[in-house]
Amino acid sequence: MPTFTMQVFRGDPRGGAFKDYRVESEEGMVVLDVIHKLQATQANDLACRWNCKAGKCGSCSAEINGKPRLMCMTRMNTFPEGEPISVAPIRTFPIIKDLVTDVSYNYVKAKAVPPLRLKAPDADGKYRMWQEDIDRVQEFHKCIECFLCQDVCHVIRDHEELKTSFAGPRFFIKIAGLDMHPLDTNNRTDFVREQAGVGLCNITKCCTEVCPEHIHITDNGIIPMKERMADNFDPIVWLLRKFRGARKEPA
């Protein structure tokens, strides 16, 4: 069996560096297997997150050879033999230790999204929905919250000052999923414009490219949302709101 050289980032908020490890390869190995092997044999204290090891939980996000990926779904045999492979924490979020970052930004944004407001059921008390009406929303529900889309989003990555007024691609599809939900009656227009900041997205599709679930984040989520915003935009109302402040919706 060949051996690999893995360059794994070791460090914490005070600083750090890549450290080289030699690992013997086994058939079918993914990057997460290598990390586990390092923990078991060479570096007990190497920090990483993982749970399902099957691309379902979105815990093991990292930047592998500079590319944001899930470690559990990245096969070692996809890399050229003999070349070192680097594994670093996702760059956009503050490091905690080694491959673990502080992703609490995403949990703050999650809580801000106005939730489902349920419509009344049919006369017999049941809710009916048609498969073709929910196909698109089910696509958004595939999101495993790996936050790789958030990691590559230029607005989040490069503009610390915009963090309070921008939700990021993960939450654009969350909002889109709610807005397209056949049972929802909530109006998120103001939220999308003012707090989620969909206008700041310039549709470079970086988020769509890294999505391990292959969700069409930009085409099916963000662009239709931008279009709805344009339809809803009334400059006089906007101006009034600027002066008087947004009116709270009745609870």
Partner 1 sequence: MATPAYETHEHDVIVIGAGGAGLRAAIEAAAQGVSVGLVCKSLLGKAHTVMAEGGIAAALGNVWPEDNWQVHFRDTMRGGKMLNNWRMAQLHAQESPERVLELERWGALFDRTKDGLILQRDFGGHRYARLAHVGDRTGLEMIRTLQYHGIHQAIDVYMECKVERLVKDGDRVSGAFGYWRNTGTFVLFKAKAVVLATGGIGKAWKFTSNSWEYTGDGHACAMWAGADLIDMEFVQFHPTGMVWPPSVRGILVTEGVRGDGGTLKNKAGERFMFNYIPDFFKGETADNEKEADAWYLDKKNNRRTPDLLPRDEVARAINSEVKAGRGSPHGGVFLDICTRRPADYIRKRLPSMYHQFKELADVDITTTPMEVGPTCHYVMGGVRVNADTTESTVPGLFAAGEVAGGMHGSNRLGGNSLSDLLVFGRRAGLHAALYAKNMGGRLTVDAGQVEKMSRDMLEPFTRSGGENPYTIQADLQEIMQHLVGIIRTESELKDALTKIEALKERARKTKIDGGREYNPGWHTALDLNSLLTVAECSAMAALERKESRGGHTREDHPYTDDAWGKLNVVLRQREGAAIQLTKEPLPEMPAELKALFQERK
The torsion angles phi and psi of 18, rounded to 5 degrees, stand at: -75, 140
Q: How far is the CB of 14 from partner 1 (least distance, A)?
A: 11
Contacts of 196 (CB under 8 A, 6+ apart): 113, 166, 167, 171, 172, 175, 188
Q: How far is the CB of 206 from partner 1 (least distance, A)?
A: 21
Does 196 engage in binding with partner 1 (CB under 8 A)? no
Does 44 engage in binding with partner 1 (CB under 8 A)? yes
* Smaller CB separation from partner 1, 108 or 203: 108
Instruction: Find out whether 82 and 88 touch, Cβ atoms under 8 Å.
Output: no
Does 56 engage in binding with partner 1 (CB under 8 A)? yes
Token couple for 88 = 């670093």
Does 202 engage in binding with partner 1 (CB under 8 A)? no
Does 2 engage in binding with partner 1 (CB under 8 A)? no
* Smaller CB separation from partner 1, 60 or 223: 60
Distance CA 178, CA 51 (A): 27
DSSP 104-151: HHHHHHHHHS----BPPPPTTS-----HHHHHHHHHHHT-----HHHH
Residue written as token pair 């607005």: 155
Own/partner pairs for 237-246, CB < 8 Å, 24+ apart? 246/190, 246/194
Segment 123-142, which members bind partner 1 (CB under 8 A)?
126-131, 134, 137-138, 141-142
Does 200 engage in binding with partner 1 (CB under 8 A)? no
| Span from 111-119, 192-200, 201-209, 240-248 in contact with partner 1 (CB under 8 A) | 111-119
Residues making contact with partner 1 (CB under 8 A): 12, 26-30, 33, 39-41, 43-59, 73, 75, 96-98, 100, 103, 107, 110-111, 115-116, 118, 126-131, 134, 137-138, 141-145, 174, 178, 181, 183-184
